[in-house]
Amino acid sequence: MAQSKHIIVVGCGRLGGLLATRLSHSGHKIVVIDKREAAFDKLSADFSGFRFVGDVTELSILRQADIEHADYLFAVTTLDNTNLMVAQVARHIFHVPHVVARVFDPLREAVYCDFGIQTISPTKLALENFMSCVL
């Protein structure tokens, strides 16, 4: 495997929990952040990264997660605005090289996809899949 990366996963819901667990299996240094401690139940027992309770809209929390040295940040909380804010802060304030945000609202995603933030819209992906079932 290539060099181990420092990866921050923001939001430990269904997607965040799976993502963090899988990434930790491939030998990367993972920090997962969530507002609620109970959210970490979503991580599997063999998750080997760090858990961190805090509000990611505060700069000091991101610093504590060592964002200055992060190679990747994935913003996958359930709130579009939180994901878009933390992604922009990571990219433009802390200069994290690779940043991806989950954005449910396709209209909002369209505003941000051309502003240096990579976005993934589950709504759009699901829509395309459903449509391909029909045609």
Partner 1 sequence: MRVILIGGSKTVYFLARGFVQRRYHVTIINRDPVRSRELAQTTKATVVLGEGTDINRLEEAGARQADILLALTSKDQDNLIACQIAQRKFGIPRTIALVNDPENEAVFKQLGVQMAFSATRIIASIIEQETDFDDITNMMSLAQGRVNIIDVRLDKDSPAIGKTLTELELTDNALIACIIRNNVMIVPRGLTRLEVNDHLLLISDPQHQKQNLIVLTGHYT
d(CA 52, CA 91): 20
Q: How far is the CB of 109 from partner 1 (least distance, A)?
A: 10
- String marking each residue 16-55 x if it binds partner 1 according to CB under 8 A: ----------------------------------------
Q: Which of 4, 48, 81, 118 binds partner 1 (CB under 8 A)?
A: 81
Q: How many residues bind partner 1 (CB under 8 A)?
A: 20
**What does the block give as tokens for 26?**
């491939």
**What does the block give as tokens for 134?**
């029909």
- Answer whether 55's CB lies under 8 Å from 79's CB: no
Q: How far is the CB of 3 from partner 1 (least distance, A)?
A: 30
- Answer whether 50's CB lies under 8 Å from 32's CB: yes
92 binds partner 1 (CB under 8 A): yes
What Å distances lie between residue 23 and 4, 14, 46, 47, 103, CA to CA?
10, 14, 12, 9, 21
Provide the binding-site residues for partner 1, judged by CB under 8 A: 57-60, 79-82, 84-86, 88-89, 92-93, 105, 107-108, 111, 115
